[in-house]
A and B are shown apart, each in its own frame.
Chain A
Amino acid sequence: MILTSKRILMGNEAIAFGAMKAGLQVASGYPGTPSTEVMETIASHASKYGIYAEWATNEKVALETAVGAAYSGANTLVTMKQVGLNVASDPLMSLSYIGVKGSLVILVSDDPGPHSSQTEQDTRAFGHFSNIPVLDPSTPQEAYDMAKLAFRLSHEMEIPVILRTTTRVSHGCADVVTEDIEPAGRDIEGYVKEPRWTIFPKLTAQRHPWLEDLQIRISDRFSDHFSENTFNSISKGNSKIGIASSGVSSLYTNEATNKQTGTFSHFKLATVHPFPEKAALEFLSDITDLIVIEELDPYLEEQFLQLIGRHHLDVNVYGKKNGHFPVSGEYDVDVVIEGVNSSLQSMNAEVPLLTHSTPVVARENIPSLPVRPPTFCAGCMHRTVFYAFKKAAAKLKKENGKGTVFSGDIGCYTLGNAQPLNMVDTCLCMGAGISMAAGLSHTQQYQEGNYAKQVAFIGDSTFFHSGIAAMISAVYNNADITLAVLDNRTTAMTGHQPHPGIGLTAMGNPTKAIDIAEVLRSCGVDLVETIEADDLGKCIETAKMAIEYEGPSAVVFKGKCVGITKATGQYVIDEEKCTGCNFCVSQLGCPAIFSMSSGIPQIQDNCTGCSLCAQVCPSDAIDLREVLQ
């Protein structure tokens, strides 16, 4: 008997439990919002269920690690966010030709909006590109159930399967029915030598027809929605208008149309790639107009358009391509109502339009409110380092008239772009700050002496992710750059995961800690300094020295993320001494300090006692009030 229990789970936790129920044995990933909690949940249950779980240095490494284990017959999972899949795309594209033994599920979280990503890219398109099946759950419960389906499918078809979620599934919580998990154990066949595991042009040519044939077989299987639970469903309406949707958009569709239940036929797709053509054709046979509702790319819309064209069907399609639905941004019930109404008006349907609820105050009637852009936390060490480089660069500019370009990177420190620091001149993707600084240093403008030096900032986890190769390339190619490593002893942005510099694995076991300064020295950087980030004067001095050094230089700034440490005290403004110059506010942008247009600044409860404001105050008017225990 399978024992079940109902509990509140975040979608990511539900996926972890689904994977563990499916017999997961090896898991690897790199943290990235909104995917991170899948691996965190597995790591915290790993020893209990006999699973091996790790944080890899990047997504390519994570995938390759899982592939190795899968070749040995293990049930494996690899986790990442949508931009992480770009990093892992090299092994992925080859892997689809080769396939796997055991099972391999790739959890990729997309971020429509985007809330915390560089792009709004759609992993369904990556499935199409790489010929890998994609499952698209709409709720945490489906995420749990479809994680199990993904492992089953991967094992049976001998191909990796992508389980793709979006933010509202990954980071939404819901009541989820889960089953008791038996420890999986490490009982696997083991690696068996076969030519099949070594990719060569000849093998690729042999495997390609298999891969293409597999697409048709899986499409047929996904179409078979009545005999097997594929999570696809078709409900018939009493009009000739149909709606097709996938993922969380299916729920928005249900809610948007719930006052007209029975009007529209609804095809909810959960197995989105390979497109279940037979089921789609059956759905299209009863309708004259099709509204496609999906976030991100018009993936389903294109699949339907192709199918309709190929079969010469007389069905009009309404979606992103003809402007009825937005092509970017996150959807919700209101967006869906607007899109459906626009479609209905366009088709002159004799169906009443959908209605919005009436808010007590319309959004446009809300008076102007203070904006609250995300910024460094109060007490964050990054603020000190960025401010130090700002001061050092200003001094150099004064001395020799040369400017400095600051290349940022991906992590908490991307927020160095916020006013008043304004210290991120370029930011592209992880590791790019170093390579871009190198590229900038090889331009004529720099060679002609208009710039002092190219400065790149990178965090500790990102340094291990993709900073090392960039630094080696920069040194090898004589790029004149200064690297500032912002080492706050954790992967802060995604929720404080350990990394190779910490000396602790994902499962909490002690391991060898890799010293970033030593890595930099062995990369050929001649000037490498390591300093604590709490003394502003020393930080400015060191920054200036590193910039002035001829050739590649690096400074590792060490501090501790305030997200995982306790406040050391609180500062207060001495009203007697304060001249109201507002220097502390205008220079630092610390969220603990504010000032009204009249009066002296004040320090709020979130002060952690970092002392930076006291160090910059020209009147010595900021004092430590109490040292908290």
Chain B
Amino acid sequence: MKFDILIAGVGGQGVVLASRLLATAAIDAGYHVATAETIGMAQREGSVTSHVRIGDEVCGSLIPAGNADLIIGLEPAEAARNIHFLSKDGSIVVNEHAVIPSASANNAEYIPEHVIEFLKENCQETINVDFTQLAKEAGTYRATNVAMLAAAAGADLLPFNPEELWSVLEKMVPEKYRELNRKAFDMSLERVSGMKDPEKQEQVQVQAMDT
């Protein structure tokens, strides 16, 4: 078994914590794990990535190009920036909420919707939700990373199920934030539950029309 996950985002979005959670869940599931995380200067509002490699054998922590089974993009442009890591059968879970760099960086116009379209064109299994908005509804935008992990587990894109993932979160999240994170976790699970199953999705839409 070999399962490679790349988490991409902007410094401060909780990329490192997300990779620690996945790595811990992998150990609890009995696998070897190796992670590579961005720490230090680059974290100051820069692009950050974490590589999480789960498997039966000890290996280096950097995922080779074209090898990732899953990309979790906490920010659309950061997911796209790393899409060359994605394998042909890989999946993407991406946050629709963009973090726009300060205009002083001399950037061309950044249109997040176009980036999401690019991701969907290149990866059939792309789950895109405004997870930041979802986390805000649960109580704080800081729970975006937890919501995205829940979505990946809920959509069956991880080598462990949502319950296994939550039992790790429960241990690692400080008690005072636990309830809030559980809420974000559950809301996210519910949000993706219909996405893989067309019948359920239809129900969700019907419910949405009712309200």
Contacts and interface: CB of A to CB of B under 8 A. Distances in A.
Interface of A: 6-8, 33-34, 115-116, 139, 141, 168, 171-175, 248, 251-252, 254-255, 332-334, 337, 356-363, 366-378, 412, 414-415, 419-420, 493-495, 582, 585-586, 588-597, 601, 604-606
Contacts, number: 201
Given A366-B83, A372-B47, A255 B59 contact: yes
Contacts of B105: 370-373, 419, 589
B44 A585 contact: no
Given A173-B19, A377-B44, A419-B106, A139 B34 contact: yes
A367 B110 CA distance: 11
Interface of B: 10-12, 19-20, 23-24, 27, 31-47, 58-62, 64-67, 77-78, 80-81, 83-88, 90, 99-110, 115, 118, 122-123, 132, 141
Nearest to B60: A251
Contacts of A412: 44
Give the dominant DSSP class at B's interface: mixed
Contact of A334 (B65, B77, B141): B65
B35 A357 contact: no
Contacts of A173: 19-20, 23, 33-35, 37
A367 B111 CA distance: 12
Contact of B45 (A6, A171, A372, A595): A372
Given A363-B65, A369-B80, A376 B35 contact: no
Most buried by A among B64, B84, B132: B64
Contacts of B67: 357
Nearest to B10: A372
Top 8 closest pairs, chain A to chain B, by CB: A357-B66, A359-B66, A251-B60, A116-B40, A33-B40, A374-B46, A333-B64, A589-B104
Most buried by A among B38, B44, B78, B85: B44
B61 A115 contact: no
A139 to B, nearest CB: 6
A175 B33 CA distance: 6
A493 B45 contact: no
B122 A254 contact: no
Given A375-B102, A604-B100, A171 B110 contact: no
22 contacts: A8-B27, A115-B40, A171-B39, A173-B19, A174-B34, A174-B61, A251-B59, A333-B64, A357-B87, A359-B66, A359-B84, A360-B123, A369-B77, A370-B105, A372-B46, A373-B46, A414-B41, A419-B104, A592-B102, A594-B101, A604-B100, A605-B141
Nearest to B92: A360
Given A168-B61, A357-B64, A359-B83, 7 more contacts: A172-B36, A360-B66, A360-B90, A363-B84, A367-B80, A370-B107, A604-B100
Nearest to A364: B84
A522 B141 CA distance: 48
A216 B140 CA distance: 61
Given A374-B43, A582-B103, A594-B101, A172 B86 contact: no
B39 A33 contact: yes
B116 to A, nearest CB: 12
Nearest to B144: A605
Given A168-B62, A419-B105, A595-B103, A360 B83 contact: yes
A34 B42 CA distance: 12
Given A115-B38, A370-B100, A8 B23 contact: yes
B102 A589 contact: yes
A250 to B, nearest CB: 9
B86 A372 contact: no
Contact of A255 (B33, B64, B77, B118): B64
Contacts of B43: 374
Contacts of B62: 168, 252, 332-333
A334 B64 contact: yes
Contact of B66 (A175, A356, A582): A356
B60 to A, nearest CB: 4
A357 B103 CA distance: 36
Contacts of B31: 175
A586 B83 CA distance: 31
A366 B83 CA distance: 8
Contacts of A174: 23, 32-35, 58, 61
A471 B166 CA distance: 54
A175 B27 contact: yes
Contacts of B122: 360-361
B104 A585 contact: yes
B33 A366 contact: no
A139 B57 CA distance: 12
A573 to B, nearest CB: 14
Contacts of A360: 66, 83-84, 86-88, 90, 122-123
Nearest to B50: A173
Contacts of A594: 100-103
Contacts of A358: 66, 88
Contacts of A8: 20, 23-24, 27, 33
Nearest to B37: A171
Contacts of A115: 38, 40-42
A560 B38 CA distance: 24
B27 to A, nearest CB: 5
